[in-house]
Structure 1
Amino acid sequence: MSVAFSELIEAFEFISSDPVFGNSARVNRKTGTVHWHTDWDSELFEEPEDIDDDEKYIDLPTPRDLDLGRPLAMRFAAERLDDHYDEIAAIFSRKGAWRRFKDFLFRVGALDRWYAYESEAKEKALRAWCEENGIDVEG
């Protein structure tokens, strides 16, 4: 089985977009086909009847599964913005942290560096997940 990495990233972004909609994606272990699902509109994406067969399909991980949320932001702070680490830790101690974090990064001129760091971390983590689960990746 082989799946295009661009397709995995696209599905990963979809399931990461908003937990309110119950977005998910499953990968067919044999064919590499990615099947998308949203609770918002169950008829939006066509799914095979056996989509719940865990032997045949595997759930694409969420950012939380791959430690790509707050832990990643704190690693970025420690590695790239050490002088602001305590400020960033304080940002993540309250609700609305992601908006405030990105506002802060914009103010200190580090938003582009964050996006590059985050993108690299996503790719690395998702490729590692594929390798651990026997999913051959193209691209």
Structure 2
Amino acid sequence: MKVKIDDIIDAVDFDSDMSESFLNTKTKQVCMFTYEELRAAENDEDISDSADWYCEAVASAKHYLETPDDYLPLPEKYDCNEYRIMEKFISRVIISKQSEMLSQSIKGRGAFRRFKTMLERLGLLDEWYKYRGQKLREFVEFWCKENEIDFE
């Protein structure tokens, strides 16, 4: 059984400060647990009045806590260094004025927001998302190979 690489890419891309993502090495499923779900599972909280999806999520989190050796932490979004990806994208922009404007947009605080705004203004947003998606895929494929994960 192979892992669906798009599931790992989605989990890495969706990474947040409120959750952790793992690969269940036995089932080859990608699992994402919020800290709330992990806390409820760890404290064995009564969630009988909760929605079915939440009960299932807490049950999955409990399984993770009981069998942590079956789970491999997925890389975080920050591990792929999106800032460096932005710099490489900018170096590929042919029109020097556009390249210059994009370079200016990534300096200082708020760089990601300004970069996206500038991409929209220059009509390069679709090109950026395509490039970024390609680099994220390459990063995840490398991670899978390093961890000896078969993927499709």
Residue in structure 2 matched with residue 2 of structure 1 by the alignment: 2
- Taking the aligned partners of 1:100 and 1:37, their CA distance within structure 2 comes to 31
Letter in 1 for 2:7: E
Residue in structure 2 matched with residue 123 of structure 1 by the alignment: 137
Residue in structure 2 matched with residue 72 of structure 1 by the alignment: 85
**What's the offset of the Cα at 1:113?**
0.5
* 1:11-22 paired onto structure 2 within 5 Å: 11-15=11-15, 18-19=16-17, 22=18
Greater helix fraction, Structure 1 or Structure 2: 2
Residue in structure 1 matched with residue 66 of structure 2 by the alignment: 50
**What's the offset of the Cα at 1:41?**
4.6
Residue in structure 2 matched with residue 134 of structure 1 by the alignment: 148
RMSD, aligned CA: 2.1
Deviations, residues 37-60 of structure 1 (Å, cap 9, x unaligned):
11255454222133543xx32111
Q: Which has the larger radius of gyration?
A: 2
Q: Mind listing any 5+ residue stretches in structure 2 that lack a counterpart?
A: 41-53
* Alignment partner of 1:28 is 2:24: yes
- Give the direction of change, closer, same or farther, for the CA distance of 1:61–1:39 in structure 2 (3 Å limit): same
Letter in 2 for 1:108: L
- What SS does the corresponding residue of 2:77 show, helix, strand or coil? coil
With normalisation by structure 1, the TM-score equals: 0.80
- Taking the aligned partners of 1:100 and 1:51, their CA distance within structure 2 comes to 43
- Taking the aligned partners of 2:67 and 2:94, their CA distance within structure 1 comes to 44
**What's the offset of the Cα at 1:127?**
1.2
Count of aligned pairs: 131
- What SS does the corresponding residue of 2:151 show, helix, strand or coil? strand
With normalisation by structure 2, the TM-score equals: 0.74
- Give the direction of change, closer, same or farther, for the CA distance of 1:136–1:86 in structure 2 (3 Å limit): same
Q: Mind listing any 5+ residue stretches in structure 1 that lack a counterpart?
A: none
- Taking the aligned partners of 1:50 and 1:81, their CA distance within structure 2 comes to 53
* Contact 2:23–2:73 (8 Å) recurs in 1: yes
